[in-house]
Amino acid sequence: MASRREADRLIVEGRVLVNGRIIRELGSQIDASKDRVKVDGHDIKKEGRLVYLVLNKPAGYLVTLKDPFHRPTIKDLLPPSGERIFPVGRLDFESEGLLLLTNDGELTFRLSHPGFEVKKSYLVKVKGEPDAKGLERLRRGLFVGGRRTAPARVILLAHNPKRSLLRIEIHEGRKHEVRLMCLAIGHDVLSLKRIALAGLTLGKLKPGEWRSLGAAEVRKLKRLVNLV
């Protein structure tokens, strides 16, 4: 972006065209949504606004904006926008819950980087009843895919011989990590729901609903990863 002084110089030199006409008057007003601006023959695109959304993703939707097999995607749930936004992290097809989407590339990178240890919490329903030894393995870390997982916070919320409900908090973002962790202690995952990410929660959002983040929430996210 040019400074005000540089922009004035370009105008004085006759290098700026608005809708095909050279402008020479300093302080000329344009409508960024309608007017076509060129400098030295090159189109000048307006800067896009930064967008921050939280979506309560239902099960049965792909976390992508386009699918060659025409399966349901999160794009079907999002509002129309002139900005292209992307998910921070992933939830697999069967999983549900909180998904953060933005076009803020630096924030996305930092929230996704394991070095910042951004916390993610899940409600996980598993088949059977994990014993104390299995739960302790989850808490200490266990080998999945040839690598040891970081220690996790695990709370057994409800249990019976047929199924149990766990709350699992991790800060890594490996593919299918929570499902593989539970499978490693002998329990298939029946359902998985992300309920918190980087201090954000679903609140009153119903499955399929979304909301924009407020300015204070965005600042909090940026502070969390040392962006402010």
Active site residues: 92
Half-sphere exposure (Cβ direction) of 166: Cα atoms closer than 13 Å: 31
Taking the C-alpha atoms of residue 140 and residue 137, their distance in angstroms, rounded to an integer, is 5
Other beta carbons less than 10 A from residue 213's beta carbon: 18
Tokens at 222, concatenated: 């940026």
Strand, helix or coil at 169?
A: strand
Q: Are 86 and 128 in contact (CB under 8 A)?
A: no
Taking the C-alpha atoms of residue 59 and residue 147, their distance in angstroms, rounded to an integer, is 28
Q: Which residues contact 142 (CB under 8 A, 6 or more apart)?
A: 148, 149, 181, 184, 185
- DSSP of 179-204, one letter per residue? HHHHHHTT--EEEEEEEEETTEE-TT
Backbone φ/ψ region at 97: left (φ over 0), alpha (ψ -120 to 50), beta: left
CA 82 from chain centre, in angstroms, equals 18
Q: Are 149 and 127 in contact (CB under 8 A)?
A: no
Other beta carbons less than 10 A from residue 62's beta carbon: 19
